[in-house]
Structure 1
Amino acid sequence: MMKKILLYGLVCCLLLSAFGGVRACAEESGDAPEQLYARSAVLLDADSGRVLFGKEEKEIRPMASTTKIMTCILALENRQEDQIVTASANAAGQPKVRLGVKDQEQFYLRDLLYSLMLESHNDSAVVIAEGIAGTVEEFAGLMNQKAKELGCNDTHFVTPNGLDASDEGGVHSTTARDLAVIMRYCIAQSPCREEFLEITRTKSYQFANVDGSRNFSCNNHNAFLDMMEGALSGKTGFTADAGYCYVGALTRDNRTFIVALLACGWPNNKGYKWTDTRKLMEYGIANYEYRDVWEDVELPKVKVDGGIEEAAPYESRIRIPVCVKEKEEIPVLLRGDEACEVQTEVEETLSAPVKEGEVAGRIRYLLDGEEIASYDVVTEKGVEERDLGWAILWILKLASL
């Protein structure tokens, strides 16, 4: 009998332990991703540019061929229609991976963009850079200028293909955060975003050089495009210094997420970047939803000094109502435990004269201390000034009674 009791107790303990473990896992499913292979990683909301998750996301590291997203978007924005480019000896001498261009061979620049993004050819990158800016150095200057415009102050470009290099400005490098911001520009903000998406989503592409003497075929090596529903774009990269790198974007239910990974393993760990990308994308999909954070805030009436109130002509300090000039929805991508802070800033006193619709303050919506929206608070009515002319008219009015 005692043995049966002990056995029953042991079974109960095992069952409680098992179900308790399941419950613990369920409770932790909303936690931030752990045990990523990448040394630097970021999950970015493409709509707002907000970092939803980061791991050493501001650490400066080499970025290998993920560089080519900047090369591609700059070429799209600066090329001439049907532009023809000529390969130089410098381009023809680039190391693998390469298209195999020959010195003085001519191509249509648009064709080389598929070579650049689908096969990641290093020689095509140089032909494109020299065709746009004259030299690799001048093109790198354009890349760095664009990075600064996007607020990527921890990024430095030396080459258009991402090969390990350095110059007087430093090492060819970026951060996971900056790389995600550049991808955001490419897919959502650039005037050439649709062309960028078209190129980077193409499965295969065939073309010839200008004189038709040689034909080429390119196949897309971005496995992420077939990995998850809603995959938009992406670019892989690898060098000895950078390790495996990746930047990619996904859209699902009107939400667009960007993942950037730097130093995500070295040979023979080529698949680490796909594991990390999926983990971060699934975290974003499972935990972030759009919510309308607009609030109808009760606003106090504002005092007006030296104003005229016909109903109370002897009162020199009156109060007038104020309201928000424009009301609208404020959709924000939020995790379940996140909320926006609403700050109301309204003037206590205004001096007459006051016009109807005059700004008397602001309502600010803050998320993690950053302003995400703000609205003017304006007066609902105007107030004339109690001046000498009004006093004389009032005296005359009283005298006529």
Structure 2
Amino acid sequence: MKMKRFASVFFILALVLSLVAVPLAAPAEEGDSAPVMEVAAKAALLVDGDTGEVLYAKNEHDELYPASITKVMTALLVLEAVDSGKLSMDEQITVTATALEGLADDGSSANIKEGETMSVENLLYCMLVVSANEACNILGERVSGSVDAFVERMNQRAEELGCANTHFVNATGLHDPKHYTSAWDIYLITKEAMGHPDFMTICNTAQITVPATNLSEARVLHTTNYLLSNWRAIGYTYSAARGIKTGSTSDAGYCLVSSAVEGSRSLISVVLGAERVSLTDGKTQTQSFSETKRLFEWGFNNFSRKTILTQADMIQEVPVSLSKDVNYVVAHPASDVEALLPNSLEPESLKRRVTLYQDTVEAPVEKGDVLGEVTLSYEDRDYATVKLLAYDSIEASRLLVLQKNVKDFFSKTIVKVILVILLLLVLLLAGWKLTVGRRRYRYGRKVGRGRNYRGRRR
């Protein structure tokens, strides 16, 4: 009896443990997305540098103050002027008094003076390495004739790049309530500027000596970007970092747009409105740098590029008409497709959504004809869309084509109208002949009797 009770209790305990074990194990099976990331800033963005895939976004379209990140747009316009031949990197510019007007006394500066002569290239180094405000106005005045005209061009260029939440008031980033942009717009501007090799060379410079000028001894410039150098602060350097531009004011907070390269992969990040906080050990931390570093590490460690489709994949059989040999053609991807996926998400888990341009295609079909497209997605995110091509060529049957052409010809509205009109004419003609024939027959008999009438006998 005791053994039976013991067995019953053991069975119940085993059943309870088995029920409890299932939900405990479930979280381990969930892993199709990257670990949750939260950035301590007003806005943040992390984008794959090669494909433009967004890995992380927080308030990326909010209008915020960019501070000296504004200088990325300033540099872009200068480099575009160089590319167009309007000026050259080694051109010497003499500083005017108007170029130095309106600058804050406590703003970032390389102490460039009125009447000093410096090359375009060295002015760019002053602007992008130590964030010299006067260099922005000097170059802007040279490019557009005046600083105001240059700022107008900045806004025009922002609109051309698709920046929907940007308005510039100056070329430096000095605070103004009407001077704002967004993390996404900064990405668009920076991505465009990165297409100029000189831009990345200058932005990625940790230290440089600018040669002496007519009014100054040689200047040694140290970058304001803590990710590139520990000259200004220690504990932030990141070996994968490549540039780009810092910015900070009391209203904007601490801002940074940067890029990083690890192996064959590259990332672009934007952090706006971060803070400088005190740590428990008494040290301070400028979070625009620490959060950018965390973003890069998160992006590199939790995502990898995977092949999600190959040209050899047979996606779908597409019905074919007007062929006597086959009734379908196989559709395959136009190219191999790669996508940046969370490490735990395998390509086999992606859902394929096929869109055919025609439910049935007509022969002849040539190999490589575009039949539709396929989109690969997971949950609510589309990872790639690629065209679908015909795998083989298919000949058409002449007889079937002829039958179709005849059928199509007689199915045209104009042809149907003409046929109806012809039919009506035939019916009218038949009716007319029938009516006229009867009349002729009737009157013919009367005329005959009149011709044989011989008169009345008396």
Count the aligned residue pairs. Answer: 348
* TM-score normalised to structure 2 length: 0.68
Is it true that 1:41 corresponds to 2:47 in the alignment?
no
Residue 314 of structure 2 contacts residue 330 of structure 2 at CA under 8 Å; is this kept in 1? no
Aligned residues with identical type, % of pairs:
27
Residue 126 of structure 1 contacts residue 136 of structure 1 at CA under 8 Å; is this kept in 2? yes
Residue 165 of structure 1 contacts residue 172 of structure 1 at CA under 8 Å; is this kept in 2? yes
After TM superposition, the structure 1 = structure 2 runs for residues 302-321 of structure 1, keeping only pairs within 5 Å, are 302-304=319-321, 307-309=322-324, 319-321=327-329
Match of 1:242 among 252, 259, 273: 252
Match of 1:72 among 75, 79, 97: 75
Match of 1:372 among 384, 404, 416: 384
Structure 1 alignment gaps of length 5 or more = 1-19, 312-317, 392-401
> Does the C-alpha gap of structure 1 residues 390 and 284 become closer, same or farther in structure 2, counting only changes over 3 Å?
closer
Residue 88 of structure 1 contacts residue 104 of structure 1 at CA under 8 Å; is this kept in 2? yes
Is it true that 1:117 corresponds to 2:128 in the alignment?
yes
Match of 2:100 among 92, 96, 99: 92
* TM-score normalised to structure 1 length: 0.77
Q: Which amino acid aligns with 2:189?
A: I
My pick for the range that moved more, 210-219 or 274-283, is 210-219
Q: CA deviation at 1:388?
A: 9.8
**Residue in 2 that maps onto 1:343:** 353
CA distance in 2, matches of 1:259, 1:144: 22
Match of 1:264 among 265, 274, 285: 274
> Does the C-alpha gap of structure 1 residues 301 and 389 become closer, same or farther in structure 2, counting only changes over 3 Å?
closer
Residue 201 of structure 1 contacts residue 225 of structure 1 at CA under 8 Å; is this kept in 2? yes
Is it true that 1:280 corresponds to 2:280 in the alignment?
no
The higher-RCO structure (CA 8 Å, 6+ apart) is 1
CA distance in 2, matches of 1:220, 1:199: 10
Q: Which amino acid aligns with 2:201?
A: E
**Residue in 2 that maps onto 1:183:** 190
Of structures 1 and 2, the larger Rg is shown by 2
After TM superposition, the structure 1 = structure 2 runs for residues 2-401 of structure 1, keeping only pairs within 5 Å, are 31-34=35-38, 36-79=39-82, 80-81=87-88, 82-93=90-101, 94-95=103-104, 96-165=107-176, 171-187=178-194, 190=195, 192=196, 194-208=197-211, 211=214, 214-226=217-229, 227-265=237-275, 271-294=286-309, 296-304=313-321, 307-309=322-324, 319-324=327-332, 326-328=334-336, 330-338=337-345, 340-346=350-356, 347-366=358-377, 368-370=380-382, 372-378=384-390, 380-384=392-396, 386=398
Residue 37 of structure 1 contacts residue 272 of structure 1 at CA under 8 Å; is this kept in 2? yes
Q: CA deviation at 1:40?
A: 1.2
The CA deviation string for residues 248-277 of structure 1, in whole angstroms up to 9 with x for no partner, is 111113221222111112688661222212
**Residue in 2 that maps onto 1:7:** none
Residue 30 of structure 1 contacts residue 286 of structure 1 at CA under 8 Å; is this kept in 2? no
Q: CA deviation at 1:67?
A: 1.2
CA distance in 2, matches of 1:334, 1:293: 9
Residue 334 of structure 2 contacts residue 386 of structure 2 at CA under 8 Å; is this kept in 1? no
CA distance in 2, matches of 1:139, 1:147: 12
Structure 2 alignment gaps of length 5 or more = 1-23, 230-236, 279-283, 404-458
Q: CA deviation at 1:371?
A: 6.3
Q: Secondary structure at the match of 2:175?
A: coil
Q: CA deviation at 1:138?
A: 2.5
Q: Which amino acid aligns with 2:392?
A: E
